[in-house]
Amino acid sequence: MLKLEKRPQPSQLWTWATPVLAVLITMVAGGALFAALGQDPVAAISTIFWQPLFGEFAFYYRPQLLIKGAPLVLIAIGLSLGFRAGIWNIGAEGQYIVGALAGAGVALAFYPAESALIFPLMVLAGALGGWAWGMIPAILKLRFGTNEILVSLMLVYVAEQLLAAMALGLMKNPEGRGFPGSRNLRQYDSAHNAELITGTGMHWGVVVALIAVIFAYVLLSRHLLGYHIRLAGQAPRAARFAGVRPARLVLFCLGTSGALAGLAGLFEVAGPAGQVSIDFNVGYGFTAIIVAFLGRLHPFGILLAGLLMALTYIGGELAQSNMGLPAAAIQLFQGMLLFFLLAVDLLTNYRIRLVTKEVA
């Protein structure tokens, strides 16, 4: 008979081995899924994981890795701070949208003036927009004791409606011949989040994402606030005795993750997406939850996990156009990854022992 025995300390080895194991299991299960859809499983998996990096058109796909990875890493870093402290912000998608709207709003307000100050102002507005949207669940939680999970999630739907209202109303391009969507910020030099080095996909969002990774690493390993965050998550009671103020953590975690998600939205709307449109958001805010867990809530882990997730997005698109694999299959694939990760995580905290039944 198998018996679970709690480890006194989480296993260091398994902490880092489980994400790899989960990815491998997902590849096998995903292969089975693709086979069930009538595709060659090996070809499908290699299209998703190999072709974008080393295939014939890799020069086109490699920059995409940074473009898609940056928002995922940026959002996931913010989420991981809260997840560590037991504060669950799952409304990053909404904060991402509001950040983009705030940033684009600044740009559109100044159009067509050209100034070097416009882009920094947009970045500030984007961060503030996301921060403000994240503060709503934080303040409601502190003031009224509402559940931040439900409130932050409800605000995603509110933000989506706000996005539609803006794309069809206030921010609609007056020269757009009646089509929904704002002016294209890529054609507005002062507001364009352009590639910094041509052909690499490197834009300001990538730079900020890398800074966020380093910032989060220093915070968690070297700073008292980071220690408090970890303590609050692992031993809430002990944390209170140690002088951790939970209210401050809630404000900090939800505010920071909101601001980072808002930044991700701003860099996306000013660069790769270019305009405020009804279908501007593509679910980065939700995928980032998977990224945060896959990266073990560790900044460097999140960086790797973000790149891997970006790869599945790109590979998924490739498999869609080359093999006719449905887009939903990739979404399912990403969901499966989180499932397997949570399941094999058992090995980190528990030891599986084979025991013979004792005779009474």
Concatenating the DSSP letter of every residue in 43-55 gives HHHHHHHTHHHHS
How far apart are the C-alpha atoms of 41 and 33, rounded to whole Å? 8
Q: At what angle do helices 327-344 and 299-323 cross, to 10 degrees?
A: 150
Q: Looking at beta carbons only, is 34 or 61 nearer to another protein?
A: 34
Q: How far apart are CA 147 and CA 138, in angstroms?
A: 9
Say which DSSP state 3 is in. E
The CA distance from 274 to 168, in Å, is 16
132 binds another protein (CB under 8 A): no
Q: How would you write 75-89 as a 3-class SS string?
A: HHHHHHHHHHHCCCC
117-125, 147-155, 243-251, 313-321 -> range binding another protein (CB under 8 A): 147-155
144 binds another protein (CB under 8 A): yes
State the Cα–Cα distance between residues 206 and 268, nearest whole angstrom.
11
Q: Judged by CB under 8 A, which of 43, 50, 336, 351 binds another protein?
A: 336
Q: Residues 150-179 vs another protein: string with x where CB under 8 A?
A: xx-xxxxxx--xx-xx--xx----------
Min. distance of Cβ 350 from another protein in angstroms?
A: 7
Q: Among 146, 157, 153, 104, which residue's Cα sits nearest to residue 129?
A: 104
Judged by beta carbon, residue 110 or residue 350, the one nearer another protein is: 350
Least CB distance from residue 335 to another protein, whole Å? 3
Residue from 11, 15, 146, 320 binding another protein (CB under 8 A): 146
Residues of span 236-295 touching another protein by CB under 8 A: 286, 289-290, 293
Residues of this chain that interact with another protein (CB under 8 A) are 4, 6, 88, 90, 140, 144-147, 149-151, 153-158, 161-162, 164-165, 168-169, 286, 289-290, 293, 326-336, 338-339, 342-343, 345-346, 349-350
